[in-house]
Amino acid sequence: MLELGFVFLFAILIGVFTALGRRRGARPAALRPVEALQSLPDTVGQAVETGRRLHISLGSGTIGDMDTAAALAGLTVLDQISAVAAVSDKPPVVTTADGTAMFLAQDTLRNVYERQNASQRYDPTSARVAGLSPMSFGAAVTTMIKDESVAGTVLVGSVGPEAVLITEAGSRANINTVAGSSDPSAQALLFAAADNPLVGEDLFAGGAYIGRLPAHIASLRAQDVMRILIGLAIVVGVIAKTFGFLP
Amino acid sequence: MKIRFWGIVLTAIAVSVGLITLLGYFVNVPVLLGLRLQFVAWASILAAVAVGLGALNLLGVHLKKISDQSGGWLYSIFLVLSLLGVIGASMAAPFLGMGSGPANTTNAWVFKYIVAAVGTALSGLLIFFLVFAGYRLLRRRPSVASVTFLIVALVSILGMAPQLPELPDLGLRDLWIWISQVPAVAGARGVLLGIALGVIATGLRILLAVDRPYGE
């Protein structure tokens, strides 16, 4: 099985490179519409215009385990969004439940301000640990949305049922909430509770949609191709097994 | 774009460590296996330190809120007092004969009677929030998907509820069992497949130094 995993990884790698090679000099990529990600510019614009804060959450997952990739997807979104939101009177606020993710978020924000030659505006407390357990994290973010005059919430990371507390707080504050989680059960909750839910792998598509980053667009296309191939393999496997071609 | 020397060094270290750890899983070479285990051990130590620093960050943010008297600062006083109280009680526990380490009697009491109780109460609230969310969903995004979602939720709730003998059997329990075993499992696997592909693509972008969350 390990060898199969290695082949699988390699196939994705080749797919990314192939897609990257094809994109050079080509027209801008047309991506399928994802309503949640398309709503982000309006949310960011509203935060800047009204002088309120944008809240970006990396969820309650921890860096170093299964939640790492989801938190890193959240950092990509943070990098893209905060570059625009940083010009607001109030800088964006980032919440997480993990110390390591907090350091990465602080580093991302610091880099954004450095790129804009506005290092003096960087505030390390903008990226913070809201609570160290999932429920305390959810409860703390709930009060923060009200107390810190938040104009919109973007939740990209691994989060459990406590996500409903956050979306409910957003709903009470009458702000837009874009939310996605790598936890399938939380995704079902967010589908009902969030204004703009990110479903499935849309969670990882932020870099391609917001920043139009070539590598992210290429990897998104590689994912789409791989998903079709895996789907076909599953269907062929089921047919073969049904008719006795497989043991 | 200005390329910084330390940026290149950090990228080289991160990519090398990532590749060695990945190869340690796939290639059965003792040196690689040893390096992988060592890197994972270091990462665990760093993660533990980060938890402590995260708690300090939490304390710093709330102390700042109290000094600025910004919105919700009264709650921050409770948080700071609770944090210091639990740390103090945990440190004093060995001297009062209440055991030592993370599982001492005071810690166990706090977790059982405060953390778990409040957590359970919050979890109980979620069902009410979800009912409101379902109602708002129909008003906000009336679509085939949202109507299907709500019908399935309703069937599942009714299917899981105890069957009263006075009422006729409408087959809701059988329908719920079928939904939970066939379409729900298929959908969950599809979602997991998409997430797994996203995870692999994200990991590869970091291994290829396309994404550098550890700095420029």
How many interface pairs between A and B have CB atoms less than 8 angstroms apart?
183
Please give the Cα distance from A143 to A169 (Å, whole number): 8
Chain B residues with CB under 8 Å of A146 CB are 71-72
| Chain B touched by A167 (CB under 8 Å) | yes
| Chain A touched by B112 (CB under 8 Å) | no
pLDDT one-digit tens code per residue, B30-41: 898 899 999 999
Specify the pLDDT at position A35.
Answer: 85
The strand pair at A150-158 and A176-181 is best described as parallel
Specify the pLDDT at position B67.
Answer: 93
CB-based contact B58 A131, cutoff 8 Å:
yes
Q: Which residue type does B137 have?
A: L
CB-based contact A200 B70, cutoff 8 Å:
no
Q: Determine the longest span between alpha carbons in chain A, in angstroms.
A: 69
pLDDT surpasses 70 at B156: yes
How many CB atoms neighbour CB A142 within 10 A?
Answer: 21
| Chain A touched by B185 (CB under 8 Å) | no
Please give the Cα distance from A55 to A85 (Å, whole number): 10
Chain B residues with CB under 8 Å of A123 CB are none
Distance from CA of B49 to the nearest CA of A (A): 8
Specify the pLDDT at position B78.
Answer: 92
| Chain A touched by B197 (CB under 8 Å) | yes
pLDDT surpasses 80 at B105: yes
From the list B149, B153, B193, which residue is nearest A227 (CB)? B193
Q: Could you list the pLDDT tens digit for every one of the 247 residues in chain A? A: 656 666 666 666 666 666 665 655 556 667 778 888 888 888 888 888 888 889 999 998 888 888 888 999 999 889 888 888 777 778 889 999 999 999 999 999 998 888 888 888 888 888 999 988 888 899 999 999 988 889 999 999 999 989 999 999 999 999 999 999 998 888 888 988 898 999 888 888 888 888 778 888 888 888 888 888 888 888 888 888 888 887 7
Chain A residues with CB under 8 Å of B55 CB are 99, 129, 132
A67 burial (CB, 10 Å; 0-12 / 13-18 / 19+) is buried
Domain boundaries in chain A? 1-29+214-241, 33-211
Chain A residues with CB under 8 Å of B215 CB are 107, 111
CB-based contact A143 B115, cutoff 8 Å:
no
Question: Is A119:A110 a contact under the CB 8 Å cutoff?
Answer: yes
Distance from CA of A37 to the nearest CA of B (A): 16
Task: Name the closest residue on chain A to residue B187, using Cα atoms.
Answer: A184
| Chain A touched by B142 (CB under 8 Å) | no
Strands (E), chain B: none
CB-based contact B61 A125, cutoff 8 Å:
yes
Is the domain covering A33-211 a CATH 1.10.10 domain? no
CB-based contact B193 A192, cutoff 8 Å:
no
Task: Provide the pLDDT confidence category of residue B77 given band limits of 50, 70 and 90.
Answer: very high
Specify the pLDDT at position B149.
Answer: 86
Please give the Cα distance from B216 to B214 (Å, whole number): 7
Distance from CA of A244 to the nearest CA of B (A): 22
Mean pLDDT of chain B: 85
